[in-house]
């Protein structure tokens, strides 16, 4: 949890285009990527082919529109199918990764929707004319050298000492677009807990060894493993950080004679661990002798365990999603991490909560919107995979704020449109980390014209999220902002639109204009192209200056 800012440039073009052979002559809505001068979002009746495999429909359309996409070859050779599923509306949703001579192009993912033999949308910016961008085919440094360069940079610029490394994502060779060029590079993940937590992503030039880019992807998640116990499911009772009583699902082990914070009733389980004020994870599975958790030391664990269950229930009951990965992954949390640690994060495997210093923060698991915020980062990682930098990173943060707030309303635990208010500055009444209803209250922009364009905080991911947060608030509650009136459609519909945009339309490098197009399309899918919901989405983004 932090606050701050970001950058981005985009243009939106809407209008009639010549209908391709095989497509009906409908208007196609388009968003153009300003840097690459290629479409980053297209919707409409794009291509029809009864009885043709949905994947083949995409390839045929891309080949037919080769002059627009300029991939430099047959689509089947340049786009590799990486996922395929059928959504609740009957759309076949596919994601393709752009490849160059078999090597993945960083961030270049295309999402495609097909229903009833018709290709209806494509989203995601692809990199054109790679053959003309001087990509070097040979690499002069090995994987191990790239990893060593990244680790040395961590020591010199971040930790000032050798960090305690953990397993991260495997290093992979990629094509990395850099300005007007494209370079052969390694994507290296350096993950560590001490002396400070970090989950850094590095792009290392495979020829020179230069660091082309780096950022802290602290809020990305992957399924973790850890100790569990065999036993009987039971229900315990305890008191949370704010003093409220909660009933929690536990497991009794007759072998050990203890009750454990292990909930076997949801997916592959919810597990809560005691970090014992150290920085080693996951710690010990929380154990109690009588299934009553009323000690002050228990409070952070009670809330982490209970609220993880609420978040699981929200995504399952409201969106039909089973845990953060959609496949019932276990949810693991560690409380009492470090001493006086003022943060909460995904370390890449699980949730981690500090106790706070008592002045800036209370134990962070005491905020239901904080728990839901962090778990939503994991949902994002398994769906759109939004890069945690610049505009895509700000969308990533905004999605976590939006669903953190919606979970708070779902649980009806003193809900509001503030973020982290329950555990932030306990000595100061009425403040919060951020506000969705009034981002400017805490110095965050509420309009695209006021966006942060510096480099701090990964290009302002926590600051510029305020622009999207304000749009989401207006879409739900309505109001007039910068002279634009928005008709509110309520929290439930707002949540369904943003969820559909996140899961089925956004791609790793989506920017604010692509988010607008994705939300418009999601609303059209759910409520009809001529619906009030679609008009309200357009009004909300107009009000914050995103087109």
Instruction: Please check whether residue 169 is in contact with residue 189, taking contact to mean a CB–CB distance below 8 angstroms.
Output: yes
Active site residue 374: yes
DSSP 3-state of 211: strand
Judging by beta carbons within 10 Å of its beta carbon (0-12, 13-18, 19+), is residue 263 exposed, middle or buried? buried
Cα 407 vs. chain centroid, distance in angstroms?
16
Instruction: Please check whether residue 512 is in contact with residue 478, taking contact to mean a CB–CB distance below 8 angstroms.
Output: no
Please report, for residues 274, 282, 364, 536, the alpha-carbon distance to residue 250 in angstroms, rounded to integers and kept in the order given. Answer: 15, 18, 21, 44
Cα three-residue angle 92-386-283, rounded to 5 degrees: 110
Please report how the helices 465-477 and 532-543 are oriented relative to each other, as an axis angle in degrees rounded to 10. Answer: 140
Instruction: Please check whether residue 261 is in contact with residue 272, taking contact to mean a CB–CB distance below 8 angstroms.
Output: yes
Active site residue 336: no
Query: What kind and span of H or E run contains 108?
Result: strand 103-115
DSSP state of 256: T
Please report, for residues 112, 123, 498, the alpha-carbon distance to residue 326 in angstroms, rounded to integers and kept in the order given. Answer: 19, 21, 17
Please report how the helices 368-382 and 299-319 are oriented relative to each other, as an axis angle in degrees rounded to 10. Answer: 50
| Tokens 């961590």 sit on residue | 154
d(CA 345, CA 356): 13
Judging by beta carbons within 10 Å of its beta carbon (0-12, 13-18, 19+), is residue 207 exposed, middle or buried? middle
In order, the DSSP letters of 378-408 are HHHHHTT---SSHHHHHHHHHHHHHHHHHHH
| Tokens 């315990």 sit on residue | 236
Considering 374, 391, 397, 418, which one is annotated as catalytic?
A: 374
d(CA 473, CA 103): 41
351 phi/psi in degrees, rounded to 5: -85, 145
Instruction: Please check whether residue 438 is in contact with residue 419, taking contact to mean a CB–CB distance below 8 angstroms.
Output: no
Residue 269, token pair as written in the block: 């389980």
d(CA 122, CA 94): 10
Query: In angstroms, what is the C-alpha Rg of the chain?
Result: 24
Please report, for residues 356, 369, 528, the alpha-carbon distance to residue 339 in angstroms, rounded to integers and kept in the order given. Answer: 8, 23, 52
Query: What kind and span of H or E run contains 94?
Result: strand 92-100
Instruction: Please check whether residue 120 is in contact with residue 57, taking contact to mean a CB–CB distance below 8 angstroms.
Output: no
Considering 319, 447, 462, 481, which one is annotated as catalytic?
A: 462
What is the set of active-site residues?
A: 374, 462
């Amino acid at each position: 949890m932090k606050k701050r800012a970001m950058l981005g440039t985009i243009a939106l073009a809407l209008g009639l285009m010549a209908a391709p052979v095989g497509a009906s002559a409908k208007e196609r809505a388009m968003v153009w990527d300003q840097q690459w001068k290629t479409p980053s979002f297209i919707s409409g009746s794009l291509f029809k082919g009864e009885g043709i495999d949905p994947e083949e429909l995409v390839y045929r359309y891309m080949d037919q529109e080769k002059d627009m996409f300029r991939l430099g070859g047959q689509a089947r050779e340049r786009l590799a199918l990486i996922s395929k599923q059928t959504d609740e509306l009957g759309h076949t949703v596919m994601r393709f990764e752009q490849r160059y001579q078999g090597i993945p192009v960083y961030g270049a993912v295309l999402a495609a929707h097909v229903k009833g033999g018709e290709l209806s949308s494509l989203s995601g910016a692809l990199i054109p004319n790679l053959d003309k961008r001087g990509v070097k085919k040979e690499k002069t440094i090995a994987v191990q050298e790239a990893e060593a360069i990244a680790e040395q940079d961590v020591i010199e610029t971040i930790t000032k000492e050798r960090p305690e490394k953990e397993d991260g994502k495997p290093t992979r060779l990629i094509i990395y677009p850099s300005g007007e060029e494209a370079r052969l590079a390694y994507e290296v993940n350096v993950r560590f807990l001490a002396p400070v937590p970090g989950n850094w992503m590095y792009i290392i030039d495979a020829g020179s060894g230069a660091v082309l880019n780096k950022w802290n992807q602290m809020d990305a998640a992957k399924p973790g493993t850890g100790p569990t116990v065999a036993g009987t499911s039971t229900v315990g009772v305890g008191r949370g950080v704010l003093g409220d009583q909660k009933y929690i699902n536990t497991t009794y082990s007759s072998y050990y004679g203890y009750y454990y914070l292990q909930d076997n009733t949801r997916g592959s389980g919810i597990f809560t661990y005691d970090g014992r004020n150290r920085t080693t994870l996951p710690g010990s599975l929380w154990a109690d002798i009588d299934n009553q958790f009323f000690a002050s030391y228990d409070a952070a664990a009670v809330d982490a365990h209970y609220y993880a269950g609420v978040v699981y229930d929200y995504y399952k009951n409201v969106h039909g999603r089973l845990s953060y990965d959609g496949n019932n992954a276990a949810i693991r949390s560690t409380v009492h991490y470090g001493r006086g640690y003022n943060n909460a994060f995904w370390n890449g495997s699980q949730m981690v909560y500090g106790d706070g210093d008592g002045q800036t923060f209370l134990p962070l698991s005491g905020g239901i919107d904080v728990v839901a915020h962090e778990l939503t980062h994991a949902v994002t990682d398994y769906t759109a995979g939004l890069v945690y930098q610049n505009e895509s990173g700000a969308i990533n943060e905004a999605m976590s704020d939006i669903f953190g707030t919606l979970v708070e309303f779902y649980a009806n635990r003193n809900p509001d449109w503030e973020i982290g208010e329950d555990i932030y500055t306990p000595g100061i009444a009425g403040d919060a980390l951020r506000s969705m209803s009034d981002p400017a209250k805490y110095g965050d922009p509420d309009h695209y014209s006021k966006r942060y364009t510096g480099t701090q905080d990964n290009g302002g991911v926590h600051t510029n999220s305020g622009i999207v947060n304000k749009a989401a608030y207006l879409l739900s509650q309505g109001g007039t902002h910068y002279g634009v009136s928005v008709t509110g459609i309520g929290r439930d519909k707002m949540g369904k639109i943003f969820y559909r945009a996140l899961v089925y339309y956004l791609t790793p490098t989506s920017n604010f204009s692509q988010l607008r197009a994705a939300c418009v399309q999601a609303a059209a899918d759910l409520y009809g192209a001529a619906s009030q919901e679609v008009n309200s989405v357009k009004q909300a983004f107009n009000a914050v200056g995103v087109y």
